[in-house]
Chains A and B, each alone.
Chain A
Amino acid sequence: MAEWTLDDVEFVERLKRRDESAFRELLDRYDPMLRRIARRFVQSEAAVDEAVSDTWIGVIRGIDRFEGRSSFRTWLVRVLSNTAIDRGVRESRQIPTDFADEHAGFSADMFAPADDPEWPGHWRSSVTDWSTAPSERLDANELFDQLRVALDGLPERQRCVYVLRDVEGWSSSEVAHALDLTEVNQRVLLHRARGRVRAHIDSYLTSERA
């Protein structure tokens, strides 16, 4: 989705003056985006309505405090994540940045050990070239269904980062701000998520059809 093209500052001033047409414009402009993101955050259609309504209420309550230090959409998703996401996301801010033990979808047994005389740390078996997968596996409908399954199966924090970065195409600084993470931590979560999604899609593309 394209970034906000109106002048955010002027627009926010209209909202602070309780300009009804500005609020209607805001709903038209951002409600579809919020719903789409909330759908991936909360994972149930029923919860989406509640999460998005609560977000708008939060926006109405908080608009006077909006200082324009972030883009509008970043602020909206920040309100959404404050409002809707399981508390677990926010309560465990400490994310280990050293993931030597966690290969994020890559397991240690995929690689030769460090003391391997010939190829230490190298791939034990070849990585699949996805472009050679059977064509029916690359059929768009099924492939995208598999991608949704992989995404929905991610741990919550990873899923939120993945959705904003790789589905919505946000920058790392926007995502970090929206989810109240450091850029380093959002990147760690993104990498783990990508590794898991890769593993899911790889096994889908390479397994025999059931």
Chain B
Amino acid sequence: MTASVDCDRLMTELTDYLDGVVEADRRVAIDEHLDDCDDCRRVLEQFRLLGTWSARLASDVVSGLDDVTRRRLVEIFVDGTGETSAGPA
């Protein structure tokens, strides 16, 4: 026997569900609930959309390593101390 699935409770479990860490019988109960509940299914779809959209932020452009800092880091590495500041002079 499985506990019933209420929408409010399910909303605390969605990430566990998506990560595949809910117990097998609970997963079955959640799947059944999702079959019947348009609202919870929409939130699940929203989570999936957010995942797809968020992954695209990984291609956001950030400024690169400047040459001065790069040279200093390499010097520090070769020197082996790591004691000096690597910031631009």
**Residues in A lying within 8 Å of B, measured CB to CB:** 1, 18, 20, 23-24, 27, 31-32, 35-36, 39, 45, 48-50, 52-54, 56-58, 60-61, 99-100, 103-104, 106, 108, 110-111, 120-123, 126-130, 143-144, 147-148, 151, 162, 166-169, 172, 187, 190-191, 194-195, 197-198, 201-202
Q: In the complex, A123 Cα to B38 Cα: how many Å?
A: 10
B43-78 interface bits toward A, Cβ cutoff 8 Å, 1 = contact, 0 = none: 101110111011111101011111001100110111
7 nearest CB pairs, A to B: A121-B6, A191-B15, A111-B8, A127-B39, A61-B82, A166-B54, A53-B86
Contact B53 A45 (CB under 8 A): no
- What residues of chain A lie closer than 8 Å to B16, measured between beta carbons? 187, 191
Extra A-B contacts (16), CB below 8 Å, given A24-B74, A123-B39, A167-B58? A18-B77, A23-B74, A23-B77, A31-B64, A45-B63, A57-B73, A57-B82, A57-B86, A121-B6, A122-B7, A123-B7, A127-B39, A144-B56, A147-B57, A191-B15, A198-B46
Given contacts A35-B62, A61-B82, A191-B14, are A20 and B77 in contact (CB under 8 A)? yes
Contact with A along B25-47 (1 / 0, CB 8 A): 00000000000011110110111
B78 and A121 form a contact (CB under 8 A): no
Candidates B11, B38, B45; contact of A106 at CB < 8 Å: B11
Partner of A127, one of B43, B57, B60, B87: B43
Q: How far is the CB of B66 from chain A (nearest CB, A)?
A: 8
B83 CB to nearest A CB, Å: 9
Q: How far is the CA of A202 from the CA of B46 in the complex (A)?
A: 9
